Structure 1
């Protein structure tokens, strides 16, 4: 395989990609992440993943480039990263005691070839008390994460159950990615 580039500076995605035991570089794609409000979550994460990968692939056409994006969806509404503490609190109150979906889109680009897919995982939160929400907000963890929580950190204490790929909720469905890369390498090289 030619060089591999992760079009992300996310420490979580970098850590997950290391599971593949393939050398890679990480580069921030710095793309516009705004989406059409009427777009379905599954389509939105795939579009954003492609944007991120394309931003790097245009500069490194001989490299395999992976772009990824994750959103939290409740009642058809996409919950992005909170704008501030009040927004984070609002999201956590909405998620309390309910099941929501987490969509992660992945785009793999290599030359003229591409593979784009999305994974959906259902996550159920415990009923959260106001002090629990306030403590979690005080930790600072929610503020750079979709839906105002990170399942891999203190946010794990909010989660009652998941149905689907845990690593997709973290930000990269690594098992599916490994299989896609293996299939693509045999077909494209």
Structure 2
């Protein structure tokens, strides 16, 4: 692979990809993230990762490969996106309190000759969180642009009893699976 482009503005994804010690450049991968009617969570997150890679491909010099990724939080088949406001965050975090939910991260690598995808599904077990704790957490500013209204790598890590899956995928980019895709494309 001559060059790698990351179709993401996420500082978390950029930092994670840097951990793989590969050179990359960011490209615009902006897309419409509206779910389709009756679309499953897995189909949705895979579609978004692919669409971001495709959008990034259109904005790249096409001299390498483009990596697209998307992460969603799912509770009882319900997609929990980024909160619209404090009330929305309180609602989401109240749902997650004392429960287990899933975090799904899909990756898609697009080049002239290949199109490769993978998805990582992790279970996250939350402790009980009361409304006052949720409001105080909201006031930190951390949950305001995060799927499910929380960041496991930040303050919200104290609410996570355990995970079953990939920590890096929960943060936003599954390192092992990303490295495998990059190796396949070489």
**Same fold by TM (over 0.5)?**
yes
For residue 52 of structure 1, what is the aligned residue in structure 2?
A: 52
CA shift for structure 1 position 164: 0.2
Cα root mean square deviation, aligned: 1.0
Runs (4+) of structure 1 exceeding 3 A deviation are none
Deviation at 1:27, TM superposition (A): 2.2
Q: How many residues align?
A: 185
Partner residue in 1 for 2:158: 157
Q: Give deviations 1:48-69, integer Å, cap 9, x for gaps.
A: 0111110111233222100000
60-69 or 12-21, larger mean C-alpha shift: 60-69
Within a 5 Å distance, the mapping from 1:1-189 to structure 2 comes to 1-60=1-60, 61-185=62-186
Q: Which stretch shows the higher mean deviation, 175-184 or 94-103?
A: 175-184
Tell me the CA shift for residue 130 of structure 1: 1.9
Q: TM-score under structure 2 normalisation?
A: 0.96
Deviations 1:10-63 (A, max 9, x none): 000000000111111112312111121411111111100111110111233222
CA contact (8 A) 2:86 2:135 kept: no
Instruction: Find the residue that maps to 1:66 and give its secondary structure.
Output: strand
SS at match of 1:131: helix
- Structure 2, unmatched stretches of 5+, are none
1:57 touches 1:63 (CA, 8 Å); kept in 2?
no
Structure 1, unmatched stretches of 5+, are none
